[in-house]
Amino acid sequence: AGSSSLKYGFFRVLSRTTNRLVASGVVECIGQALGTAKYKTEYTDISTEAEFKTHSDALHHVIRLLTDGRTGVVTDPSDIQCVGHRVVHGGSRFKTAAVIDDDVLAAIEEACSLAPLHGPHNLLGIQVAKTMFPVPQVAVFDTAF
């Protein structure tokens, strides 16, 4: 999640080492009067305009797209087994991806000051996703590369 956008990709796990991107998109202009949501699959390419007051509104819209009976790639949000998050700065603590627990979440919050334009929005995206998906959440840090 960025300050006014939410990018996403939905991957189908084919094996321990192989994934396939089956849907992707972006919600832009979150918090503004008119935003845009783009959603693409192998069979669909949709662009809609709407107001997305919060990141939570944007994520709810993404879930509707992913589960839509005509264009969705899953039948129910409970089909989602894990959520990954790109986090801009992990401070000095994170050299690899990490499963997000309370300690990792606190460390991400602490590192927000190192990337003030992105960190708080990364944190917000994690918090929103954790409330919507009671599944493992994983953070992947730009600073780990």
Q: Which amino acid is residue 137, in one-letter code?
A: Q
Q: Which one of the listed residues 45, 76, 79, 142 is annotated catalytic?
A: 142
Per the annotation, the verdict on 142 as an active-site residue is yes
From 117, 108, 121, select the one nearest 27 (Cα to Cα).
121
- 27: β partners: 6, 37
Measured CA to CA in angstroms, residue 34 lies from 45, 54, 128 at distances of 20, 12, 21
From 19, 14, 145, 13, select the one nearest 90 (Cα to Cα).
145
Cα separation of 145 and 117, whole Å?
20
| Residues with Cβ within 8 Å of residue 11, at least 6 apart in sequence | 19, 20, 21, 22
Annotated catalytic residues are 142
